[in-house]
Amino acid sequence: MDSLCLGSFLVRRVVETEGPFAPLDFIVPQADAARVEAAAHWLRPGYLDAANRVVMSFQSHVLDTGRHRILVDACVGDDKERPLRPGWHRQRFGWLQALAAAGLRPEDIDFVCCTHLHADHVGWNTCLRDGRWVPTFPRAKYVFARREYAHWEAEHRAALAQGRPAPNHGSFADSVLPVVDAGQAVMADDGHAFEDGVWLEPAPGHTPGTVTLQARSDGAHGIFCGDILHTPVQLLDPGWNSRFCEDAALAAATRRRLVERAADSATLLMPAHFPGAVGGRVVTDGGGWRWEAEQSHRAPT
Residue 287 has pLDDT above 90, yes or no: no
- Asked if 145 contacts 211 with a C-beta cutoff of 8 angstroms, the reply is yes
Three-state secondary-structure class, residue 85? coil
**Whole-angstrom distance, CA of residue 199 vs CA of residue 192:** 5
- Asked if 151 contacts 208 with a C-beta cutoff of 8 angstroms, the reply is yes
Three-state secondary-structure class, residue 96? helix
Which pLDDT belongs to residue 299? 44
- Asked if 184 contacts 140 with a C-beta cutoff of 8 angstroms, the reply is yes
Using the CB atoms, write b or e for 5-41: b if 16+ within 10 Å: ebeebbbbbbbbbeebbeebeebbeebeeeebeebee
Who contacts 220 (Cβ-Cβ below 8 Å, separation ≥6)? 5, 6, 7, 9, 266, 268
Backbone angles phi, psi at 281, to 5 degrees: -130, 155
Read off the pTM.
Answer: 0.96
Percent of the chain past pLDDT 70, that is, above it, reads 98
- For 98, the enclosing helix (H) or strand (E) is helix 95-101
Kindly report the average pLDDT of the chain as a whole number: 96
Mean pLDDT of 128-144: 98
Backbone angles phi, psi at 84, to 5 degrees: -80, -10
Smallest CA-to-CA distance from 223 within 186, 184, 257 is with 257
Q: What is the pLDDT of residues 43-89, one digit of tens each?
A: 999 999 999 999 999 999 999 999 999 999 999 999 999 999 999 99
Who contacts 154 (Cβ-Cβ below 8 Å, separation ≥6)? none
Which pLDDT belongs to residue 50? 96
Residue 245's pLDDT band, with cuts at 50, 70 and 90, is: very high
Q: What is the pLDDT of residues 192-240, one digit of tens each?
A: 999 999 999 999 999 999 999 999 999 999 999 999 999 999 999 999 9
Domain 3-293 has CATH 3.60.15.10: yes
Who contacts 161 (Cβ-Cβ below 8 Å, separation ≥6)? none
Instruction: Kindly report the length of the chain.
Output: 301
Using the CB atoms, write b or e for 236-266: b if 16+ within 10 Å: bbbebbbeebbbeebbbebbeebbeebbeee
Mean pLDDT of 229-252: 98
What dihedral angle (degrees, nearest 10) is formed by the CA atoms of 87, 250, 62, 15? 20
Residue 286's pLDDT band, with cuts at 50, 70 and 90, is: confident
The DSSP-derived string for 161-178 is: HHTPPPGGGGHIIIIIHH
**Whole-angstrom distance, CA of residue 145 vs CA of residue 159:** 21
The bridge status of strand 198-202 relative to strand 211-217 is: antiparallel
Higher pLDDT residue, 284 or 301? 284
Which pLDDT belongs to residue 300? 42
Which pLDDT belongs to residue 301? 38
